[in-house]
Amino acid sequence: MSENVTTKVDGKVGRITLTRPKALHSLTLDMCEAMTAALLEWCSDDAVAAVIIEHQPDTRGFCAGGDVALLRNSAIEDGGQRGREFFHAEYRLNHLLFTYPKPTVVFMDGVTMGGGVGISQPCDFRVATENTKFAMPEGAIGLFPDVGAGWYLPRLPGEVGKFLALTGARLDGAECLWAGLATHYIPSDRLAETKAQIVVDPASLERYLVMHAESAPEARLAGNREKIDRLFAGETLEEIEAALAADDSEWAAKELKAVTTKCPVTAKVALRQFAENAHCATFADNMAMEYRIAARMIMRPDFAEGVRAVLVDKDNAPQWSPATAEGVTQDMVDAVFSPLPEGEEWTPVKCAN
């Protein structure tokens, strides 16, 4: 159980509600375990027809990510053991949602970043609102786009996934709908009624979502699609940086700064992650790959330095090592992706038949 998440059956709907508002509902180990336990219980409960994932009403943000402070402390204090335990549990939750046999709907009303992406993207129905702020900003702290991002981002239109991974760009609800990260756009003042109707009649879940959805504003991302596809087409970080530097537009200069201020190792790991995902036959294969990456990345000095710069000292001036794309060698990246020792690989948890 966790004091930071409530799980209950409401009518014929299982409801998972994040209740950690002071931390923007960022995920802890006990939250992941509590959500997984509820989902496993509801799998075999005929009284549960669908699942809603939401955050506590009248609080900011859906889910801002994972408990980064815990991960940093673990890397410093216990050789990353607690960090690996967290990732193992979080990725099991992500995979369980991805393979869940009953309809799932998530309400991404507010900040949806990192771990929030991990519990929203596997859901069958993903509702964005005018408050949605979606991003994978891990490059700013020397981590990497995880929680299934290696599966989701390469499947976005054109080079949009690469753009999000390398820049940490924040998308609004309209952009999420355009990119396919959301399935519906519903104004936040209609969410309570939408949820209430789903609870009464979960068999008509999709009809209620359509009923309350409205046309989203024009997606700014759509207007930048040509530039994104052209300038982020390179296979290597050096090629992408060179393309951005050679373009004299204000947009390219802004995005070049976004790319080059992020951790270079993170950026190269993300690009390799995209390439490796093509060899992943299942989502479980992808999560096993990401777990290997996570186990290595939290132990690299860049992670402790990134968290220091962004969350501890808040000077936003991390000193990356290496500091440039050219300094990141193939051997460094290979080491991050190499198999873990026997008995330490990630394994999924599944619903009982």
Catalytic, 206? Answer no
Nearest alpha-carbon partner for 262 in 163, 170, 138, 111 = 138
Sorted by sequence, the CB contacts under 8 Å of residue 169 that are 6+ apart come out as: 135, 163, 258
Q: What is the DSSP string of 115-155?
A: HHHHHHTTSSEEEE-TT-EEE--GGGGT--S-TTHHHHGGG
Nearest alpha-carbon partner for 52 in 111, 110, 2, 97 = 97
- Cβ contact 209:186 at 8 Å: yes
Catalytic, 66? Answer yes
Chain position carrying tokens 């001036």: 317
In this structure, the chain runs to a length of 353
User: Which amino acid is located at 177 in the chain?
Assistant: L
| Active-site option among 61, 66, 116, 161 | 66
CA atoms of 15 and 38, how far apart (whole Å): 9
| Active-site option among 33, 67, 90, 138 | 138
| Active-site option among 61, 115, 116, 118 | 115
Catalytic, 54? Answer no
Question: 8 is written with which tokens?
Answer: 């209950």
Catalytic, 115? Answer yes
- What do you get for the CA distance between the two ends of the chain, in Å? 24
CA atoms of 29 and 33, how far apart (whole Å): 6
Q: Would you name the residues annotated as active-site residues?
A: 66, 115, 138, 146
